Amino acid sequence: MSDVTMPQLGETVADGTVTKWFKAVGDQIEKGETLFEVATDKVDTEIPAPATGVLTAILVAAGLTVDVGTILATIDGVATTSDGPTAPTSPTAPTPSETPSAAPVKSVAASAVALKADGRLSPVVRRLLGELNLRADQVTGTGPNGRIKRTDVLSFAPSGVQVGALSPVVRRLLEERGLQASQIIGTGANGRLTRKDVEAFKPKSSSPPLNSAFVPSALSGDEVIPFTKIRKLTAEHMTLSKAISAHTLMAKEIDYEAVERVRRVAGGAFKQEEGFSLTFLAFNAAATLEALREFPLLNASVGDNELIVHHNLNLGIAVDLDSEGLVVPVMKNADQLSLREIARSIRELATRARGKKLSIDSFNGGTFTITNPGPFGTFITGAVINQPQVAILSTDGVQRKPVVVSAADGSESIAIHSVGILALTFDHRAVDGAYAAQFLVRIAEIIATRDWLSEL
């Protein structure tokens, strides 16, 4: 019997929501086959089966949020899990018609002893046991198969004491909203602040919420489409960003003719070698990274009356998930990559993000973001800043159009070039317009003059 548990998808992730099961009780499954999907506060991820066998029980239904390490399902068969080899057992398996709530549960006492003996405790439970100076065998588990849950450990906390203080998610929400924990009454165990407490908190104000008078009612014939988890998180993140940052839009027309010539000369060979087309996005990313080295105040975050300048250039690339949501995977130390390597990395991140194959750590640590609506032929886009960064660059559509070309002797002529617009949304708290304008000018110069062909 193998347990399927809620995975640790990142160092700061304490829980996850099961959004979908791809198999039903009674199904035969193979190790590595996609079993279920998990949503966290940053990403949706498809999780493979840890073993080969028959899915004998689903203990956590789709839509429920549970701690990391919680047992979600069981697989009957000889297998190897992330915890090591598991010997087969012979519990009474449910029939396919049984629901998860009717799945058999082994003796709580016997299961708890086994769990404590082999150390299969979630990171959250282990941390809380340490904070309260408790041993696992002192706590009676009330979870599936006698597993120790966070609430089981918290029941040992002295009255009025907040154990574990704040979860990473709660700390992030407090920071984004500019709130203090002392402002909010926690409804969790022993007064612990939960994510819902922070999200539901309304600061005292003389004015009602701005949207309180604009909540619509569905009319006859209307279709009501509930927000998915990722859509809700995107909406929350974008609204908070507009509330926090002094958004300012600045745009510049860019002459891409030098890039277009390279794409004509080397594009065919590049596609044959790499398996995908050489797009303008790779050139824009490479030029942006070079310019950021000269304008580091845009590779930064705003702290408490201070600007935190990041010396690593971790470039986020916004990826549309087939109109179901938006995520921003990150290329770490992207300035160390060649043009070809940047193109490969962008392609890989986008493909894996759409296939839900990226870990949550792939979305952490970004210092500057590029969004690319250009393939749709957009003219100019005022993107929303990806907090806690201070700027985001939109690379819009590139079109063939007439331009004035100056010769070395000062004469002018009309030529047909590939031209587009780069639109920079920046936080006016961090920099002023002159600094942002010079940054765009520098990107334009790099795009027009860099020896791109030698990098391919």
Query: Catalytic positions, please?
Result: 428, 432
User: Which residues lie below 8 Å from residue 190, measured CB to CB, with a gap of 6+?
Assistant: 154, 157, 159, 160, 161, 162, 163
If we measure between CA atoms, which residue out of 303, 274, 275, 284 comes closest to residue 430? 303
| Integer CA distances (angstroms), 456 to 279, 288, 339, in order | 13, 18, 7
Q: How far is CA 123 from CA 11, 83, 181, 454, in A?
A: 10, 13, 23, 49
Inter-residue contact 1 to 103 (CB < 8 Å)? no
Smallest CA-to-CA distance from 73 within 23, 111, 126 is with 23
Residue 178: Cβ within 10 Å count: 11
DSSP 350-377: HHHHHTT---GGGGS---EEEE--GGGT
HEC letters along 1-23: CEEEECCCCCCCCCEEEEEEECC
* DSSP three-state, residue 84: strand
Distance CA 66, CA 331 (A): 30
CA-CA distance, 344 to 235, in Å (whole number)?
30
Question: Which residues is 424 bridged to in the sheet?
Answer: 250, 393
- For 97, half-sphere exposure in the C-beta direction (CA atoms, 13 angstrom radius) is 0
Distance of CA 286 to the CA centre of its chain: 23
Judge residue 207's burial from the number of C-beta atoms within 10 Å of its C-beta, 0-12 exposed, 13-18 middle, 19 or more buried: exposed
- 3-state secondary structure at position 272: helix
- Give the ranges where 295-432 is alpha helix by DSSP (H): 339-354
What DSSP line would sit under 139-181, residue for residue? S---SGGGPPPHHHHHTTSPTT--TT---HHHHHHHHHHT--G
Site of tokens 């700027």: 391
